Amino acid sequence: MHSGLNYLWPYGEVVSGMYNSDWFNSAEKLVIPFFAGLSALLVVLMATLAAPDKKCGIAKVVFAIGLIIAVIFAVNLDTWAAFVVAFGSGLVTSFLVCRRQRTNARLQIATADPQKLR
């Protein structure tokens, strides 16, 4: 992620490997929380996609484990912006997975053949 920002900077203006620009420091502060949120979304989503059943329960467990790890990182590294974005992203993904599972269960009940229910 950091090397992607390096391509935006003219190489001739790099002084001893340092980028002394206002936009670079701002972009660097935005990139880290963005990718923390993206990783939280993908971890919860991939775990639930791999689960054959009980996707909502898997999403909640993975979110809880990720929350514990994120709190440890935030406290030790003082990365609270990345924590907030990752927490929100994981929470929303867990909520959407659970909501989709409930909707699919209702659809299966609604479209079930009455002959099979007997």
Q: How many helices (H) and strands (E) does the chain have?
A: 5, 0
> Would you state the pLDDT for residue 25?
74
Helix axis angle, 80-110 to 55-77, nearest 10°: 180
Q: Indicate the SS3 state at residue 10.
A: coil
15 strand-pairing partners: 18
pTM for the whole structure: 0.76
Q: Report residue 9 as tokens.
A: 């900077």
Domain ranges for the chain: 33-117
**Which two structure tokens, joined as six digits, stand for 53?**
């059943």
Structure tokens at 31: 């990139």
| pLDDT tens series, the chain, 118 aa | 556 666 666 666 666 766 666 677 787 788 899 999 999 999 999 999 999 889 999 999 999 999 999 999 999 999 999 999 999 999 999 999 999 988 887 777 767 665 655 5
